[in-house]
Structure 1
Amino acid sequence: MEESRKKFVGFIDKALATASTMHRDELLFSYKGIPYPRAFYSPETFKALESFEARSDDVILAAYPKSGTNWLSQILTDLIAISQKKTPGSESSVNAEEPEEFPYLEAGDAEKFERMTKLPSPRFMVTNLRPENLPQSIFKNNAKILLLIRNPKDVATSYYHFSNGVTTVPSYETWDDFFTDFMTKKTAWGCYLEYLSEWNKYADKENIMTITYEEIKENPALSVKNIATFFGIALTEEQLQLVVERSSFQSMKKNSDKTHGSFGKVLFRKGGVSDWKNLFSEDQNVKMDKAFEEHIAGTTLGKKLKYDLYCKA
């Protein structure tokens, strides 16, 4: 167990160390028009990913960065442990909880996909990619995807604090500078609203379940129950409460040194809703509202985000 976790944390620490030696202008590279952090990704890995063969029982979490990815990863690894008749957090759940490969599908070396063919099912993987940049086998083989989305103003706010806490993406002297880059597609992973628009084309497929950060905050137990049902995992009331408890912000923040190394201090900052109100100016609110209207309002995902509730002052 300790060995696997060390490998996971080691990958992150190595990326942070690599990025710390780079000039700001070297941190990102572009692949198919979208910027990505060079310390985590490479064109060779993206190219190798194209021929990756997904399995129908793969468990996939798709989310734009700073949407609550680590939170949902915790929930899903615990659910996988339960599906394998193991108790989350116990020594026996090692296989489900300790990834043998860094779980972000597109991150790491190009040979990882060959190693992944030897991993037992169900394989858990996370992706920050838009659907058109994922291997087609995922859709062809009907692998189940949990699509996690969050209101765009909180995504931008969380991303700003994140960018100033890590070495892997460019940092910003001011929020205004970051907001300008975020809205003009210059930040890593590209435009969030375009990300939503692309995923919206897949939102009605049976093998995709969409859940929002906000609805999980409102009712964690119901959300975990719905996720488990989607992946066909039976839960007792006791197991449900254990998953909810272990995935609480307080619990994850407390264990972040062990689970994510030095990265944990940056990942688990506030874990709340509406922090955007502390940063957005009136003009920035207008710009984001207009962009939301143009890209995603009125669509399946746009409605699910409840923009008027969470993004109007």
Structure 2
Amino acid sequence: MSSPRYIRHHDLLLPSEAHDAQSLEYAQNFSVEDTDVFAVTYPKSGTIWMQEILPLVLNDGDLTPIHTIPNWDRVPWLEEKRLAFVVDQLKSPRALVTHFPYHIMPPSFHTSKAKVIYVIRNPKDVMVSSYHFHQMAGFLEDPGTFDEFMEKFLEGRVMFGKWTDHVKSWRHTALQDRIMFIAYEEMVEDLPAALRRISEFLGTKLSEKTIQKIAEHCSFKSMKANKMSNFSLIPKQYMDHDKSPFLRKGIAEDWKNCFSSEQLARFTSVICKEMEGESLSLPWSLA
């Protein structure tokens, strides 16, 4: 598939509005520091949530950044054009996000001690969220019908390729204790417990009072009301919130309202086949 809305990188489709040859070269040559923390996600799996959480966990719950800096500058994407402009403003420990699969991370990442929090989300909900996002994002192709988009999603003809390939690339790494896996649904179910896990992994030793404060400010309601987090600062030509709000529902299992029984059977059979042999401990079933 070729479209002016996308560029190809390692056989993956990336939106050309946010990525170009220079930004991808910048990412490849990026100098990762040992203290860096990467939130890694397949698109629509909780990226924006982690952009909210990480600065608070790394800075003892200081709320200043989330009220004064847009989230894309607060925790920038490794692969996007914006990083080169804001990287000098990032204070150590730096928090970054990426949608990159493991094998195209920059060489300096592999030789560093940087940590990774990989957020995994039920692919049925990922697809539904992505479908709605394509409807409101002017820089992405029109998704077509739900059926048509589902086929694109399953075949990897969407930005950043197949969900199954992305998950597997980060499951089979040499990172060992440098990577922590957390499910989006765990965060929905009990955010303070998720924050305790993240804090422990990053060694920040937050007090229970701070954990509760962060949980309150990282609730879906708080983020939806915060213009630095809800993408309302983005011009309408790029994101039309009248078609669908960027922060839409923030729930798990919305897929149950969207799939027909035939679509569900098709979707789960493909995903299960591709994830055969993967021992994932998840709060939801692939089937």
TM-score normalized with structure 1 length: 0.81
Residue in 2 aligned with 1:44? 22
Counterpart code for 2:140: V
More deviation, 171-180/231-240: 171-180
CA RMSD of aligned residues (A): 2.6
3-state SS in 1 of match to 2:7: strand
User: Shift of the alpha carbon at 1:272?
Assistant: 0.7
Cα distance in 2 between the residues matched to 1:218 and 1:247:
13
Residues 53-64 of structure 1 mapped to structure 2, 5 A cutoff: 53-64=31-42
Q: 1:176 to 1:105 in 2, by over 3 A?
A: same
Residue in 1 aligned with 2:121? 150
Q: 1:192 to 1:99 in 2, by over 3 A?
A: closer
Deviations 1:165-203 (A, max 9, x none): 111211223211111111121111111111111111128
Greater helix fraction, Structure 1 or Structure 2: 1
Residue in 1 aligned with 2:169? 198
Picking from 270, 274, 287, the partner of 1:295 is 274
Q: 1:306 to 1:222 in 2, by over 3 A?
A: closer
User: Shift of the alpha carbon at 1:110?
Assistant: 8.1
Q: Given that residues 81 and 93 in structure 1 are in contact (C-alpha distance below 8 angstroms), is that contact kept between their aligned partners in structure 2?
A: no
Q: Given that residues 102 and 108 in structure 1 are in contact (C-alpha distance below 8 angstroms), is that contact kept between their aligned partners in structure 2?
A: no
Cα distance in 2 between the residues matched to 1:252 and 1:110:
22
Residue in 1 aligned with 2:77? 104
Cα distance in 1 between the residues matched to 2:267 and 2:72:
37
- Structure 1 vs Structure 2: percent identity of aligned residues? 27
Residue in 2 aligned with 1:81? 59
Residue in 2 aligned with 1:29? 7
Q: Which runs of 5+ in 2 are unaligned?
A: none
Cα distance in 2 between the residues matched to 1:264 and 1:143:
36
Deviations 1:40-95 (A, max 9, x none): 0012221232221111100110001100111121111111221xxxx532479969
How many residue pairs are counted as aligned between the two chains?
Answer: 278
Cα distance in 1 between the residues matched to 2:71 and 2:83:
21
Cα distance in 2 between the residues matched to 1:70 and 1:100:
12
Cα distance in 2 between the residues matched to 1:154 and 1:116:
32
Cα distance in 1 between the residues matched to 2:67 and 2:150:
42
Q: Which runs of 5+ in 1 are unaligned?
A: 1-23
Residue in 1 aligned with 2:261? 282
User: Shift of the alpha carbon at 1:143?
Assistant: 0.5
Residue in 2 aligned with 1:6? none
Residue in 1 aligned with 2:109? 138
Instruction: Check if 1:125 corresponds to 2:96.
Output: yes
3-state SS in 2 of match to 1:29: strand
Instruction: Check if 1:160 corresponds to 2:137.
Output: no
Cα distance in 2 between the residues matched to 1:217 and 1:109:
29
Cα distance in 2 between the residues matched to 1:91 and 1:184:
39
Q: 1:264 to 1:90 in 2, by over 3 A?
A: farther
Q: 1:250 to 1:297 in 2, by over 3 A?
A: farther
Counterpart code for 1:33: D
Q: Given that residues 28 and 106 in structure 2 are in contact (C-alpha distance below 8 angstroms), is that contact kept between their aligned partners in structure 1?
A: yes
Cα distance in 2 between the residues matched to 1:92 and 1:279:
33
Q: 1:272 to 1:203 in 2, by over 3 A?
A: farther
Cα distance in 1 between the residues matched to 2:107 and 2:208:
37
Q: Given that residues 67 and 213 in structure 1 are in contact (C-alpha distance below 8 angstroms), is that contact kept between their aligned partners in structure 2?
A: yes
TM-score normalized with structure 2 length: 0.87
Q: Given that residues 160 and 175 in structure 1 are in contact (C-alpha distance below 8 angstroms), is that contact kept between their aligned partners in structure 2?
A: yes
Deviations 1:20-46 (A, max 9, x none): xxxx93111211111010000012221
Counterpart code for 1:219: D
Q: 1:227 to 1:51 in 2, by over 3 A?
A: same
Q: Given that residues 130 and 195 in structure 1 are in contact (C-alpha distance below 8 angstroms), is that contact kept between their aligned partners in structure 2?
A: yes
Q: 1:215 to 1:289 in 2, by over 3 A?
A: same
Q: 1:251 to 1:203 in 2, by over 3 A?
A: farther
Q: Given that residues 44 and 110 in structure 1 are in contact (C-alpha distance below 8 angstroms), is that contact kept between their aligned partners in structure 2?
A: no
